[in-house]
Amino acid sequence: MDVNVTLAAWSNLLVYSAMAVYAIAFLVYAFDLFGRQRTADAAARRTAAEARAGARSRAGSRAQGRAGRASAKSSVHRTSRHEQVAVLDAEDEADADGGQARAGSSKPAEAADADGPSAGAGADGPGAGASVRGASGGIRRLARVGTALTVLALLLHIAAIVTRCLSVMRVPWGNMMEYAMTASAIACIVYLVTVRVKDVRYLGTFVTGAVLLALGLSITVFYTPAAQLVPALQNYWIYIHVPIAILSTALLSVSAALAVFQMLRAWREAKSPCLLRFMDRLPASDDIEKASYRIAAVGFITWTFTLIAGAIWAEVAWGRYWGWDSKEIWTFVVWVVYAAYLHSRATRGWSPTKVAVLNLVGFLCVIFNFTIVNVFFNGLHAYSGLSS
Protein backbone atom coordinates (compact mmCIF):
# COMPACT_ATOMS: atom_id res chain seq x y z
CA MET A 1 0.00 0.00 0.00
CA ASP A 2 1.33 3.41 -0.93
CA VAL A 3 2.13 6.10 1.62
CA ASN A 4 0.19 9.35 1.55
CA VAL A 5 3.08 11.79 1.63
CA THR A 6 0.80 14.82 2.10
CA LEU A 7 -0.78 13.43 5.28
CA ALA A 8 2.64 12.39 6.56
CA ALA A 9 3.88 15.96 6.05
CA TRP A 10 0.80 17.31 7.84
CA SER A 11 1.52 14.95 10.72
CA ASN A 12 5.01 16.38 11.11
CA LEU A 13 3.64 19.93 10.95
CA LEU A 14 1.07 19.12 13.64
CA VAL A 15 3.83 17.69 15.82
CA TYR A 16 5.72 20.98 15.63
CA SER A 17 2.52 22.90 16.38
CA ALA A 18 1.78 20.72 19.41
CA MET A 19 5.34 21.22 20.63
CA ALA A 20 4.94 25.01 20.43
CA VAL A 21 1.74 24.95 22.50
CA TYR A 22 3.23 22.47 24.98
CA ALA A 23 6.19 24.83 25.41
CA ILE A 24 3.88 27.75 26.23
CA ALA A 25 1.90 25.57 28.66
CA PHE A 26 5.19 24.51 30.25
CA LEU A 27 6.16 28.14 30.88
CA VAL A 28 2.72 29.02 32.27
CA TYR A 29 2.76 26.04 34.61
CA ALA A 30 6.28 27.00 35.69
CA PHE A 31 5.13 30.50 36.62
CA ASP A 32 2.23 28.94 38.51
CA LEU A 33 4.48 26.57 40.46
CA PHE A 34 7.49 28.78 41.11
CA GLY A 35 5.79 32.20 41.19
CA ARG A 36 6.21 34.48 44.20
CA GLN A 37 2.58 35.38 44.83
CA ARG A 38 1.29 34.66 48.32
CA THR A 39 -0.39 31.34 48.60
CA ALA A 40 -3.86 30.73 49.88
CA ASP A 41 -2.44 28.95 52.92
CA ALA A 42 -0.32 31.94 53.88
CA ALA A 43 -3.29 34.28 53.59
CA ALA A 44 -5.43 31.94 55.68
CA ARG A 45 -2.74 31.75 58.38
CA ARG A 46 -2.45 35.54 58.46
CA THR A 47 -6.21 35.93 58.82
CA ALA A 48 -6.29 33.39 61.65
CA ALA A 49 -3.43 35.17 63.44
CA GLU A 50 -5.27 38.50 63.21
CA ALA A 51 -8.42 36.90 64.63
CA ARG A 52 -6.47 35.45 67.58
CA ALA A 53 -4.82 38.83 68.26
CA GLY A 54 -8.25 40.54 68.31
CA ALA A 55 -9.59 37.94 70.74
CA ARG A 56 -6.65 38.47 73.10
CA SER A 57 -7.17 42.26 72.96
CA ARG A 58 -10.85 41.92 73.90
CA ALA A 59 -9.97 39.58 76.76
CA GLY A 60 -7.41 42.08 78.09
CA SER A 61 -9.98 44.92 78.02
CA ARG A 62 -12.46 42.87 80.04
CA ALA A 63 -9.77 41.99 82.62
CA GLN A 64 -8.86 45.68 83.07
CA GLY A 65 -12.55 46.57 83.60
CA ARG A 66 -12.95 43.95 86.32
CA ALA A 67 -9.77 45.14 88.06
CA GLY A 68 -11.05 48.77 88.10
CA ARG A 69 -14.36 47.76 89.67
CA ALA A 70 -12.62 45.74 92.37
CA SER A 71 -10.38 48.68 93.38
CA ALA A 72 -13.38 51.05 93.56
CA LYS A 73 -15.25 48.80 95.99
CA SER A 74 -12.28 48.64 98.40
CA SER A 75 -12.24 52.46 99.11
CA VAL A 76 -13.83 53.15 102.64
CA HIS A 77 -13.93 56.03 105.30
CA ARG A 78 -13.73 55.57 109.08
CA THR A 79 -16.72 57.49 110.68
CA SER A 80 -16.41 56.45 114.30
CA ARG A 81 -14.03 54.80 116.62
CA HIS A 82 -16.02 51.59 116.93
CA GLU A 83 -17.51 51.02 113.48
CA GLN A 84 -16.71 51.31 109.88
CA VAL A 85 -19.19 52.40 107.27
CA ALA A 86 -18.31 52.00 103.66
CA VAL A 87 -18.92 55.47 102.25
CA LEU A 88 -17.72 56.19 98.76
CA ASP A 89 -16.33 59.52 97.73
CA ALA A 90 -18.17 61.44 95.09
CA GLU A 91 -15.61 60.40 92.53
CA ASP A 92 -15.72 56.78 93.62
CA GLU A 93 -19.50 56.94 93.61
CA ALA A 94 -19.48 58.01 90.00
CA ASP A 95 -17.07 55.17 89.21
CA ALA A 96 -19.32 52.75 91.06
CA ASP A 97 -22.31 53.89 89.05
CA GLY A 98 -20.32 53.39 85.88
CA GLY A 99 -19.19 49.99 87.11
CA GLN A 100 -22.80 48.96 87.75
CA ALA A 101 -23.76 50.10 84.31
CA ARG A 102 -20.90 48.09 82.86
CA ALA A 103 -21.80 45.15 85.05
CA GLY A 104 -25.35 45.37 83.79
CA SER A 105 -24.12 45.17 80.25
CA SER A 106 -21.40 42.61 80.92
CA LYS A 107 -23.65 39.60 80.45
CA PRO A 108 -24.72 40.52 76.96
CA ALA A 109 -21.11 41.37 76.17
CA GLU A 110 -19.91 38.05 77.54
CA ALA A 111 -22.67 36.29 75.64
CA ALA A 112 -21.53 38.06 72.53
CA ASP A 113 -17.97 37.03 73.28
CA ALA A 114 -19.14 33.49 73.84
CA ASP A 115 -20.70 33.57 70.42
CA GLY A 116 -17.63 35.31 69.06
CA PRO A 117 -15.82 32.36 67.54
CA SER A 118 -18.83 31.12 65.62
CA ALA A 119 -20.01 34.57 64.76
CA GLY A 120 -16.50 35.62 63.89
CA ALA A 121 -16.13 32.61 61.71
CA GLY A 122 -19.26 33.53 59.89
CA ALA A 123 -18.24 37.15 59.64
CA ASP A 124 -14.64 36.50 58.78
CA GLY A 125 -15.45 33.63 56.48
CA PRO A 126 -16.28 35.67 53.40
CA GLY A 127 -13.52 38.12 54.12
CA ALA A 128 -11.01 35.35 54.65
CA GLY A 129 -12.18 33.61 51.53
CA ALA A 130 -11.87 36.87 49.64
CA SER A 131 -8.33 37.35 50.91
CA VAL A 132 -7.47 33.80 49.99
CA ARG A 133 -8.91 34.24 46.55
CA GLY A 134 -7.15 37.54 46.20
CA ALA A 135 -3.84 36.06 47.26
CA SER A 136 -4.01 32.96 45.10
CA GLY A 137 -6.34 34.01 42.33
CA GLY A 138 -3.49 34.94 40.03
CA ILE A 139 -1.75 31.62 40.62
CA ARG A 140 -4.88 29.59 40.00
CA ARG A 141 -5.63 31.61 36.88
CA LEU A 142 -2.22 30.64 35.58
CA ALA A 143 -2.94 26.99 36.37
CA ARG A 144 -6.24 27.18 34.50
CA VAL A 145 -4.53 28.80 31.52
CA GLY A 146 -1.84 26.13 31.58
CA THR A 147 -4.44 23.36 31.65
CA ALA A 148 -6.36 24.93 28.76
CA LEU A 149 -3.16 25.18 26.72
CA THR A 150 -2.36 21.57 27.55
CA VAL A 151 -5.75 20.49 26.22
CA LEU A 152 -5.17 22.47 23.02
CA ALA A 153 -1.70 20.96 22.61
CA LEU A 154 -3.12 17.48 23.22
CA LEU A 155 -5.69 17.98 20.46
CA LEU A 156 -2.91 18.95 18.04
CA HIS A 157 -0.89 16.00 19.31
CA ILE A 158 -3.75 13.56 18.66
CA ALA A 159 -4.32 15.10 15.23
CA ALA A 160 -0.65 14.42 14.41
CA ILE A 161 -1.05 10.78 15.43
CA VAL A 162 -4.28 10.38 13.44
CA THR A 163 -2.81 11.88 10.27
CA ARG A 164 0.26 9.69 10.65
CA CYS A 165 -2.05 6.70 10.97
CA LEU A 166 -4.10 7.70 7.92
CA SER A 167 -1.00 8.31 5.83
CA VAL A 168 -0.17 4.58 5.96
CA MET A 169 -3.60 3.18 6.95
CA ARG A 170 -2.35 1.22 9.94
CA VAL A 171 -1.96 1.51 13.70
CA PRO A 172 0.34 4.37 14.79
CA TRP A 173 2.81 2.35 16.88
CA GLY A 174 5.00 0.48 14.42
CA ASN A 175 8.35 2.00 15.46
CA MET A 176 9.99 4.02 18.24
CA MET A 177 8.89 7.36 16.84
CA GLU A 178 5.23 6.41 16.73
CA TYR A 179 5.44 4.63 20.09
CA ALA A 180 6.89 7.75 21.76
CA MET A 181 4.25 9.97 20.13
CA THR A 182 1.37 7.75 21.25
CA ALA A 183 2.73 7.04 24.74
CA SER A 184 3.30 10.74 25.45
CA ALA A 185 -0.25 11.54 24.30
CA ILE A 186 -1.67 8.84 26.59
CA ALA A 187 0.44 10.19 29.48
CA CYS A 188 -1.03 13.64 28.90
CA ILE A 189 -4.54 12.15 28.85
CA VAL A 190 -3.83 10.33 32.15
CA TYR A 191 -2.69 13.63 33.66
CA LEU A 192 -5.80 15.52 32.51
CA VAL A 193 -8.12 12.77 33.73
CA THR A 194 -6.35 12.81 37.11
CA VAL A 195 -6.81 16.58 37.28
CA ARG A 196 -10.56 16.05 36.97
CA VAL A 197 -10.47 13.76 40.01
CA LYS A 198 -7.76 15.45 42.13
CA ASP A 199 -6.03 18.79 41.77
CA VAL A 200 -2.56 17.73 40.62
CA ARG A 201 -1.89 20.74 38.44
CA TYR A 202 1.45 21.14 40.19
CA LEU A 203 2.50 18.26 37.92
CA GLY A 204 1.78 20.36 34.85
CA THR A 205 5.33 21.68 34.51
CA PHE A 206 6.84 18.21 34.46
CA VAL A 207 4.15 16.51 32.40
CA THR A 208 4.23 19.12 29.64
CA GLY A 209 8.01 19.21 29.80
CA ALA A 210 8.26 15.42 29.48
CA VAL A 211 5.76 15.34 26.59
CA LEU A 212 7.66 18.15 24.89
CA LEU A 213 10.89 16.17 25.25
CA ALA A 214 9.25 13.00 23.90
CA LEU A 215 7.91 14.81 20.83
CA GLY A 216 11.27 16.46 20.26
CA LEU A 217 13.00 13.08 20.31
CA SER A 218 10.29 11.63 18.06
CA ILE A 219 10.77 14.23 15.35
CA THR A 220 14.59 14.21 15.54
CA VAL A 221 16.45 11.24 17.08
CA PHE A 222 13.66 8.66 16.65
CA TYR A 223 12.34 10.04 13.38
CA THR A 224 11.28 7.38 10.90
CA PRO A 225 9.61 8.14 7.55
CA ALA A 226 6.04 6.89 7.25
CA ALA A 227 6.04 3.31 5.95
CA GLN A 228 4.20 0.02 6.24
CA LEU A 229 4.74 -2.45 9.07
CA VAL A 230 7.50 -5.02 8.86
CA PRO A 231 6.15 -8.55 8.22
CA ALA A 232 6.80 -9.73 11.79
CA LEU A 233 4.43 -7.07 13.15
CA GLN A 234 1.60 -7.80 10.75
CA ASN A 235 -0.37 -9.78 13.30
CA TYR A 236 -3.59 -9.10 15.19
CA TRP A 237 -1.64 -9.13 18.49
CA ILE A 238 -0.26 -5.72 17.61
CA TYR A 239 -3.74 -4.38 18.37
CA ILE A 240 -3.62 -5.95 21.86
CA HIS A 241 -0.05 -6.15 23.13
CA VAL A 242 1.38 -2.76 22.11
CA PRO A 243 -1.55 -0.51 23.19
CA ILE A 244 -1.49 -2.02 26.68
CA ALA A 245 2.28 -1.49 26.83
CA ILE A 246 1.75 2.15 25.83
CA LEU A 247 -0.92 2.60 28.51
CA SER A 248 1.38 1.03 31.09
CA THR A 249 4.23 3.37 30.17
CA ALA A 250 1.93 6.40 30.47
CA LEU A 251 0.58 5.34 33.87
CA LEU A 252 4.00 4.55 35.29
CA SER A 253 5.43 7.84 34.03
CA VAL A 254 2.75 9.88 35.83
CA SER A 255 3.26 7.79 38.97
CA ALA A 256 7.01 8.45 38.81
CA ALA A 257 6.44 12.20 38.50
CA LEU A 258 4.24 12.08 41.61
CA ALA A 259 6.94 10.09 43.42
CA VAL A 260 9.47 12.86 42.70
CA PHE A 261 7.11 15.46 44.17
CA GLN A 262 6.42 13.22 47.14
CA MET A 263 10.12 12.99 47.98
CA LEU A 264 10.66 16.74 47.60
CA ARG A 265 7.59 17.51 49.71
CA ALA A 266 8.73 15.09 52.44
CA TRP A 267 12.16 16.74 52.44
CA ARG A 268 10.51 20.13 52.78
CA GLU A 269 8.38 18.91 55.69
CA ALA A 270 11.39 17.40 57.48
CA LYS A 271 14.17 19.93 56.88
CA SER A 272 12.37 22.96 55.44
CA PRO A 273 15.07 24.12 52.98
CA CYS A 274 14.56 27.59 51.57
CA LEU A 275 15.01 26.36 48.00
CA LEU A 276 11.81 24.30 48.24
CA ARG A 277 9.44 26.94 49.56
CA PHE A 278 7.21 26.47 46.52
CA MET A 279 6.45 22.98 47.89
CA ASP A 280 4.23 24.60 50.53
CA ARG A 281 1.61 24.96 47.79
CA LEU A 282 1.40 21.20 47.38
CA PRO A 283 -0.64 18.69 49.40
CA ALA A 284 1.01 16.72 52.18
CA SER A 285 3.57 14.12 51.11
CA ASP A 286 1.31 11.31 52.34
CA ASP A 287 -1.50 12.42 50.02
CA ILE A 288 0.88 12.60 47.05
CA GLU A 289 2.23 9.16 47.90
CA LYS A 290 -1.26 7.65 47.91
CA ALA A 291 -2.01 9.08 44.45
CA SER A 292 1.33 7.81 43.12
CA TYR A 293 0.73 4.34 44.56
CA ARG A 294 -2.76 4.01 43.10
CA ILE A 295 -1.63 4.96 39.60
CA ALA A 296 1.39 2.65 39.83
CA ALA A 297 -0.83 -0.22 40.99
CA VAL A 298 -2.97 0.14 37.86
CA GLY A 299 0.18 0.45 35.75
CA PHE A 300 1.54 -2.75 37.29
CA ILE A 301 -1.63 -4.64 36.35
CA THR A 302 -1.49 -3.43 32.76
CA TRP A 303 2.25 -4.19 32.57
CA THR A 304 1.51 -7.72 33.77
CA PHE A 305 -0.95 -8.10 30.92
CA THR A 306 1.71 -6.70 28.55
CA LEU A 307 4.14 -9.39 29.68
CA ILE A 308 1.59 -12.18 29.28
CA ALA A 309 0.35 -10.94 25.89
CA GLY A 310 3.92 -10.62 24.65
CA ALA A 311 4.62 -14.24 25.60
CA ILE A 312 1.53 -15.41 23.74
CA TRP A 313 2.50 -13.38 20.66
CA ALA A 314 6.02 -14.84 20.84
CA GLU A 315 4.55 -18.35 20.76
CA VAL A 316 2.46 -17.40 17.71
CA ALA A 317 5.39 -15.76 15.89
CA TRP A 318 8.38 -17.92 16.91
CA GLY A 319 6.89 -21.07 18.37
CA ARG A 320 7.97 -20.46 22.00
CA TYR A 321 6.61 -18.40 24.89
CA TRP A 322 9.96 -17.34 26.31
CA GLY A 323 13.39 -17.20 24.71
CA TRP A 324 15.41 -14.91 27.02
CA ASP A 325 15.56 -12.23 24.37
CA SER A 326 16.92 -8.89 25.64
CA LYS A 327 13.52 -7.23 25.33
CA GLU A 328 11.82 -10.07 27.16
CA ILE A 329 14.39 -9.97 29.96
CA TRP A 330 14.06 -6.24 30.56
CA THR A 331 10.27 -6.37 30.39
CA PHE A 332 10.43 -8.97 33.14
CA VAL A 333 12.93 -6.85 35.11
CA VAL A 334 10.47 -3.95 35.05
CA TRP A 335 7.74 -6.25 36.32
CA VAL A 336 9.94 -7.52 39.18
CA VAL A 337 10.94 -4.01 40.29
CA TYR A 338 7.34 -2.80 40.42
CA ALA A 339 6.28 -5.99 42.21
CA ALA A 340 8.97 -5.21 44.79
CA TYR A 341 7.67 -1.63 45.00
CA LEU A 342 4.11 -2.77 45.74
CA HIS A 343 5.35 -5.35 48.25
CA SER A 344 7.63 -2.90 50.06
CA ARG A 345 4.78 -0.44 50.49
CA ALA A 346 2.83 -3.11 52.37
CA THR A 347 5.88 -4.13 54.43
CA ARG A 348 6.47 -2.62 57.86
CA GLY A 349 9.73 -0.73 58.23
CA TRP A 350 9.84 0.81 54.76
CA SER A 351 9.58 4.58 54.83
CA PRO A 352 7.56 6.33 52.08
CA THR A 353 10.77 7.85 50.71
CA LYS A 354 12.43 4.46 50.26
CA VAL A 355 9.30 3.11 48.59
CA ALA A 356 9.28 6.12 46.23
CA VAL A 357 12.90 5.37 45.31
CA LEU A 358 11.82 1.90 44.17
CA ASN A 359 9.10 3.52 42.07
CA LEU A 360 11.71 5.69 40.34
CA VAL A 361 14.03 2.72 39.82
CA GLY A 362 11.19 0.90 38.09
CA PHE A 363 10.50 3.85 35.82
CA LEU A 364 14.20 4.14 34.94
CA CYS A 365 14.05 0.48 33.91
CA VAL A 366 11.08 1.33 31.67
CA ILE A 367 13.07 4.13 30.01
CA PHE A 368 16.12 1.87 29.65
CA ASN A 369 13.96 -0.85 28.09
CA PHE A 370 12.50 1.59 25.56
CA THR A 371 15.66 3.48 24.59
CA ILE A 372 18.88 1.53 25.22
CA VAL A 373 17.49 -1.96 24.64
CA ASN A 374 15.67 -0.98 21.45
CA VAL A 375 18.63 0.88 19.95
CA PHE A 376 21.77 -0.93 21.13
CA PHE A 377 20.76 -4.49 22.02
CA ASN A 378 20.46 -7.09 19.28
CA GLY A 379 17.48 -9.39 19.42
CA LEU A 380 14.26 -10.52 17.83
CA HIS A 381 12.47 -7.33 18.94
CA ALA A 382 14.47 -5.04 16.65
CA TYR A 383 11.55 -2.89 15.51
CA SER A 384 12.83 0.58 16.35
CA GLY A 385 12.74 1.64 12.69
CA LEU A 386 16.08 3.40 13.10
CA SER A 387 18.78 2.82 10.54
CA SER A 388 21.77 0.97 11.96
The 10s digit of each residue's pLDDT in 80-115 is 444 444 444 444 444 445 444 444 444 444 444 444
Mean pLDDT value across residues 52-65: 72
Q: What is the rounded radius of gyration, in angstroms, for the C-alpha atoms of the chain?
A: 34
Distance CA 139, CA 137 (A): 5
**pLDDT range class, residue 212, cuts 50, 70, 90:** very high
Where is average pLDDT lowest: 127-131, 208-212, 265-269, 288-292?
Answer: 127-131
Residue 180 has pLDDT above 80, yes or no: yes
Counting Cβ atoms within 10 Å, is residue 97 exposed (0-12), middle (13-18) or buried (19+)? exposed
pLDDT score recorded for residue 43: 54
Where is average pLDDT lowest: 61-70, 143-152, 170-179?
Answer: 61-70
Contacts (Cβ under 8 Å, ≥6 apart) of 7: 163, 164, 166, 167
pLDDT score recorded for residue 311: 93
Residue 178 has pLDDT above 90, yes or no: yes
Handedness of CA 341, 342, 345, 347 (dihedral sign): negative
Mean pLDDT value across residues 45-54: 71
